[in-house]
Structure 1
Amino acid sequence: MLRLIKKFLGLAPDLPAVEAVQFVSTPTETRIPPQIEPVRPPSMAPPPAEPPGRKIILDLETTGVAKDDRIIEVAALELFEDGRIERAFHTLVNPEGKESNRFAQRKHQITPEMLQGQPTFRDIVDALLEFIGDDEIIAHSADFEFRFLRQEFDRLARPPLPKSRFACSLELAREVLPEQASHKLEHLAGYFDLDTTKVQLHRALADCMVLAVVYDGLLKEQDR
């Protein structure tokens, strides 16, 4: 399945053509190729049979990095021990009047117009938690994802996800590839021979797909 992600990134021309995961404007669960099903709300999806070893690859885009900044995009992938990726969760999120600072918007290129009419975090939180379940959450710079999720949960007066459930792929990269000058996601993608020029990095779903391949590579490096 990681080879299918590489096909999505334009990196495996030997694979048969597959339909790319689409960006959508509402909380969804989408089957990753080759078994793409119509987009539908998570509440309508039958509960999947989950083999052991399920992890969640998570990425957020935000209006900035300050305490009053907001989440504007959420993506998550199911990653299993055998490298399979079964489902994806992706949505833009209305930040309720908070605009991205210029630096953040240059990175993710998500404009205020794109966020008009999108669900708020309150609207998507239950679907997100249902998708994540009780599994470990992998993020690149996990402290960032944990902090922003906690801030959103605090605004809703809801208990946050425990920090113990978050694992940081950035810390793992520093541990297993100490000789690398940079451990940013795009640089690690290059180390694992991923050409990311055909995808828009700093968008949540694309970053999740790249991280899935990078994380798999980091685990293999760790086992050597």
Structure 2
Amino acid sequence: MREIVVDTETTGLDPRDGHRLIEVACLELQNGVRSGVEYVSRINPERLVDPEAYAVHGISDADLVGAPVFAEMVADFLAFIGDDPLVIHNAEFDLRFINSELARTGHAAIPSTRAVDTLTMARRRFPGSPASLDALCRRFGIDTSARVKHGARLDAELLADVYLELTGGRQKGLSLTAETAVVVERRTAVVRVPRAPRPHAPTPAEAAAHAALVARIKGAIWLR
């Protein structure tokens, strides 16, 4: 099964206020394992980045000079994601921006039903606990030391690891190949020699003692 882990960075918090996408990262999963195939692109938002957003992701206006506008990269983006499920943390936020850009370029919106929202998954699995991407990385012991600022590609990589933990902690790269080590338990055979059958018939002395005992018992069952 093919799934696409998606993360974005933006100029601000809401496209209804004129904010735009500035970066998108898509990582391919094949049967729950990262395949190494990815699509990452910065985007010229045709506007300035808000200082609050810059403080989060560290992508400046100068960093976006020469990047394609969304209309120039949308075909490649749509071709990469195809019709496959999209794994997104807080899917409502990212889809709102993606669909705003799609509407600007005359493309159909991506339905929310296509998104696998890891924020919702985490809240269901750990009710009442923090469910941010950072919190989930801490919970699952996922290394975030390389993450000084938010970035779509790095966040997508962390999200892929979190998603695998949320879906059962499958190990990356696990495959049943000819090179897979197989451990066989070897047991030493134990040879047992059967005992000779023991005699069960009473001796003459035992038979006489039993007969004397029975004779003293009134109504003994052995005499019936």
TM over 0.5: same fold? yes
Question: What secondary structure, in the 3-state scheme, does the structure 2 residue paired with 1:199 have?
Answer: coil
* Alpha-carbon distance, 1:179 to partner: 4.7
| TM-score normalized with structure 1 length | 0.71
**TM-score, normalised on structure 2?**
0.71
Counterpart AA for 1:110: I
Tell me, in whole angstroms, the C-alpha distance in 2 between the residues paired with 1:107 and 1:82: 29
Among 85, 94, 105, the alignment partner of 2:44 is 94
Q: Secondary structure at the match of 2:26?
A: strand
Unaligned runs of 5+ in 1: 1-52
Q: Does 1:64 align with 2:12?
A: yes
* Pairs within 5 Å for 1:127-138: 127-138=76-87
How many residues of Structure 1 are paired with residues of Structure 2 in the alignment?
A: 167
Q: 2:156 aligns with which of 196, 204, 208?
A: 208
2:71 matched residue in structure 1 = 122
Instruction: Say if 1:201 and 1:172 are closer, same or farther in 2 by CA, change over 3 A.
Output: farther
The answer to whether the aligner puts 1:165 opposite 2:110 as a matched pair is no
Shift of 1:199: 2.7
Q: Which one of the candidate residues 58, 79, 82 is aligned to 2:29?
A: 79
Provide structure 2 residue ranges, at least 5 long, that are not aligned to the other structure: 170-224
Q: Distance in 1 between matches of 2:164 and 2:32?
A: 10
In the alignment, the residues of structure 2 paired with residue 218 and residue 201 of structure 1 have an alpha-carbon distance, to the nearest angstrom, of: 24
Shift of the 82–152 alpha-carbon distance from structure 1 to 2, 3 Å rule, reads closer
1:84-123 CA deviation, whole Å, 9 max, x = no partner?
A: 3230110110001x11211111000000000011001101
Tell me, in whole angstroms, the C-alpha distance in 2 between the residues paired with 1:156 and 1:82. Answer: 32
SS in 1 for 2:134: helix
Distance in 2 separating the partners of 1:65 and 1:199 = 21
| Cα offsets for 1:175-202 (capped at 9, x unmatched) | 112252x111011011110121223441
Identical-pair percentage? 35
